[in-house]
Amino acid sequence: GWPPVKIAVGQINPTVGDFPGNRDKVLHSMAEARRQGADLVVFPEHALLGYPPRDLLLRGGFLDAAEREFSAIVDASRNIAVVIGHVLRAGTRAANQADPSAIAFGGDTLLYNAVFLLADGGIVGHQAKHRLPSFDVFEEERYFAPGMEVNVLDWQGLRLGLSVCEDSWYEGGVLGAQASAGVDLLINASASPYFRGKPALRYGLAKRWALLAGAPFVYANLTGGQDELVFDGGSFAVRPDGAFLLAAPRFAEGLPIFDTAGAPVAPPDEDGLPVVHQALVTGIRDYLNKNGIPGVIIGISGGVDSAVVAALACQALGPDRVIGTFFPSAYTAPESEKQARHVATALGIRLLEIPIEPVFSSLAQSLAPHSSVEGVVAENLQARIRGILWMALANATGYVVLSGGNKSEIATGYNTLYGDTVGALAPIGDLVKAEVYALARLINDQSPRTIIPAGTLRRPPSAELRPNQRDDQDLPPYDALDPLVRDLVEANKPASELVR
């Protein structure tokens, strides 16, 4: 067995750079944890800064402002012990002093990404992150120096092995050394963005470390959206036998508490499309709320992509913050109008209708003496007219446009620059077409009434920019295209492997 410790996890949703707001979230969780009798409260990586702060780390005054708020958290540890992810300034490093852009952005501060143990109003110790992820959405080598030492910290007669996010994903390293040295608890502070299938990977790693160390493994993750990333929370704790002691909710702030000697709890819910759905709703909500944007404008065409984006936006923001638009052209089928109206009515949102034919005719007339107005010229003119109208409505309301592009279209360039590509955020831009259909069915299943009509799910997809147009006239069928997009864009495979 191991000593009983009552641990709270401060699963918070920080805003990058909002030090006073983030500090208050931390202090509030500390006070609440103390009130509930916890011995220790664990916060994620970069809990005070928010993640990822990117080049703000290099901005003059940014770290000084962060340190002022961090000292308030250190002071408050008089009342309860804290594990928290924060940066550690460790002197200066050589910098290019000749190039003005290096002086402005080079950063001569030697900075570590670290996790701290605070108690009795002071810093007991820390562990710097050794492995700095610099792939995909991560670029930590640009800002941080890799940690060199491995520490085991003593607290109330217990030996704690602290680590930051990425170090738990490598064999050996920090956690391997801590396990060999002997620990009573492994605690990992993470800022780990969600992708489908990632939670199961985390559980597998945690169980392996807990077994190796013969001690419980505690994992604290951020929650919430930050620009294009969404953090899923889902903090947890596992015993060496693989049983869960804690499985916190996903995509929600909270202060779950567990006892290391307590009874096991049910393992976390399966990860799948409902979790993807939660991620997209969270991403839209935080993108607007953290940026102080009042609402969104969405083109609703009668197709599946725009219907799904509208449904997600309503779930994220409520229908009163969503304006739907229907901009029919000469090629818009009556069926499309019927389905667009159905979606808007089912969601309870306004639908502004502006026919674009008059504007199109006028532009075509002006162009005709100088250029053909056939084929792709005519098609893209229509898409760009819609873009102009969306942006005019955005300027009039202070709202932003949500783009309806999916990953299969975006990856193949099957969209119109300055047309359907306008917008602040493309909520389904990471879903291939088959996933959009699956999400549409899920949205219908979860709703008391049908949001996305059966006709929309049945009809062949079309941009409706020319007579009887269908996507599969210009693109491979989506069931062939989707796997190619996944292989090329997500698995980064060479094209030569995919052609047969």
Active site residues: 45, 129, 165
Closest listed residue to residue 251, CA positions, set 272, 228, 273, 280: 280
- Ordered DSSP codes for 281-322: HHHHHHHHHHHT---EEEE--SSHHHHHHHHHHHHHH-GGGE
Contacts of 121 (CB under 8 A, 6+ apart): 74, 75, 77, 78
Query: Which ranges of 272-431 does DSSP label H, i.e. alpha helix?
Result: 273-291, 304-317, 334-347, 357-367, 375-397, 407-412
Residues near 406 by beta carbon (within 8 Å), at least 6 away in sequence: 305, 428, 429, 431, 432, 433, 435, 436
CB 459 within 8 A of CB 335: yes
Integer angstrom CA distances of residue 203 from 8, 154, 199, 275, 295: 19, 26, 6, 16, 37
What lies within 8 Å, CB to CB, of 382 at 6+ separation is: 329, 331, 356, 360, 419, 465
Any bridge partners for residue 190, and if so which? 221
Cis peptide before 4 (omega within 30 of 0): no
Between the alpha carbon of residue 206 and those of residues 98, 108, 116, 251, 375, the distances in Å are: 46, 36, 20, 20, 56
246 strand-pairing partners = 237
User: What is the Cα 299 distance to its own chain's centre?
Assistant: 24
Question: Would you give the DSSP letter of residue 403?
Answer: P
**288 touches 295 (CB < 8 A):** yes
Residue 321: CA count within 13 A, CB half-sphere? 20
